[in-house]
Amino acid sequence: MTPSAAGRWTDLDRPPLNAGALRRALTAPTGPWAALEVLESTGSTNADLAERARAGTAVPGTVLIAEEQTGGRGRLGRSWNAPARSGLFLSVLLSPRVPGERWGWLPLLAGVAAAEALARTGGIDTALKWPNDLLITVEGGERKVGGILAERVPTPSGEPMAVLGIGINVSLRADELPVPGAGSLVLAGAPGTDRDPLLRAVLRNLADRLRRWEEAGGDPVTGGISGAYTAGCATLDREVRAELPGGEEVIGRAIALDGDGRLVIRTGDGVRRAVSAADVVHLRARPTGTGHG
C-alpha cells in the first residue's frame, strides 16, 4: 500500500466502523436485520446488493455498508462519492409486505427515518427535500447532507425486491465537498458525528418505520409516513421548479403530497400538477420551523 493510499485508512479523525459490534446490535436474534457486512471499499453498495439479489445470494433484511464508495450513485445517474470513512454509505435489501403500488413511498420513508435519526443522535436539525434529499444548514445556507436511492430488483424466485441506498456526509471538510451545494454534519456543527451510533440510529429507525408501514398495509397515513414527511419537508409551501424527464419544467408552489407520494405543484395559472419523477429546485428561502429537530 502506498503512503497516500495508507493515509486514507489511518486518519485518526475518521476511525473505522466496528463491524462486529454493529452485527451484534443490529442483526437477529437481538436486532431487526437479517445480516450485516462492512466492506472496506466498493464501487456501489446498491449495485453490489442488487447483484446479490439477482443471483439469489442475499436475503431480505441484508445490510451492506462500505467504508468507501468509488462509484456511488444518486438519482438521475448522478455520482455520490466521498473520502474513505467520511460518511455513512449503506444499502438494505427489502421485500416489503405491502402492495406493489405503495412501494413508491420507500424513499420517502427512508428519508423520514434518516432525518429523525440525524436529529436525535447527531443533534442537528435535518429537513427533507422532495423526493429523497436530506438538508441541513451550513453558514446560513441550505445544503444537501444526504440522499436516498431506491431501486426494484428482479430475483430468481420471481418475487421483486427493493434495494434502498442511503448516503450521508459526516466528516467532509469544505475542500472535500463534491459540489457547492453539499454539506456535512461536521460543517453544520453537529454535536454527534461518531459514525457508529449514527449508523445504529439510522438502521433502527428505518426498521421501526418499515414495521409500522407494513402493519398498516402500506397505507402512508395510518403507517405514519405521510404526516411525518409533510412535517419535515422543506419543499412544501415554497416556490419550486420541477425539471421533468424529457426537459419539461413545472414552476409553481409546492402545496402537498398526494396519496402516492407525488409532489403536487400549483402553477401560476392555478393548475395543479402531480409529479412523480423530477429534479426539484427550491426558488425561495426555506420557511422557518421546517425540519426534524
- Could you report the per-residue pLDDT of 116-128, keeping only the tens digit for each? 999 999 999 999 9
For residues 127 and 243, is the Cβ–Cβ distance under 8 A?
no
Q: Does the structure show a pLDDT above 80 at 167?
A: yes
pLDDT at 6: 47
pLDDT at 90: 98
Confidence at 13, pLDDT banded by 50, 70, 90: confident
Confidence at 230, pLDDT banded by 50, 70, 90: very high
Range with top average pLDDT, 8-22, 60-74, 179-193: 179-193
Q: Does the structure show a pLDDT above 70 at 175?
A: yes
The set of cell numbers assigned to 238 is: 415554497
Lowest-pLDDT range of 65-69, 73-77, 84-88, 100-104: 73-77
The one-letter amino acid at 81: N
The set of cell numbers assigned to 78 is: 448522478
d(CA 91, CA 283): 31
Q: Does the structure show a pLDDT above 50 at 3?
A: no
Give the mean pLDDT of 196-217: 98
Q: How many CB atoms lie within 10 A of CB 121?
A: 21
Q: Does the structure show a pLDDT above 70 at 1?
A: no
Give the mean pLDDT of 37-60: 97
pLDDT at 277: 87
Residue 162 main-chain phi, psi, to 5 deg? -125, 135
Give all domains of the chain, ordered by start, each with its CATH number: 3-231 (3.30.930.10), 235-282 (2.30.30.100)
pLDDT at 180: 85
Q: What is the pTM of this model?
A: 0.91
Q: Does the structure show a pLDDT above 50 at 2?
A: no
pLDDT at 10: 57
Q: Which strands sit side by side in the sheet containing 249-257, from one edge to the other?
A: 272-275, 263-267, 249-257, 238-243, 279-282
For residues 146 and 251, is the Cβ–Cβ distance under 8 A?
no
Interacting residues of 158 by C-beta distance below 8 A, sequence separation 6+: none
pLDDT at 8: 57
Confidence at 279, pLDDT banded by 50, 70, 90: very high
Q: Half-sphere exposure of 55 toward its Cβ, with a 13 Å CA cutoff?
A: 8
Instruction: Using the structure block, give the residue that is written with the C-alpha cell 459526516.
Output: 170
Dihedral angle of Cα 24, 29, 30, 34, to the nearest 10 degrees: 70
Q: What is the mean pLDDT of the chain?
A: 92
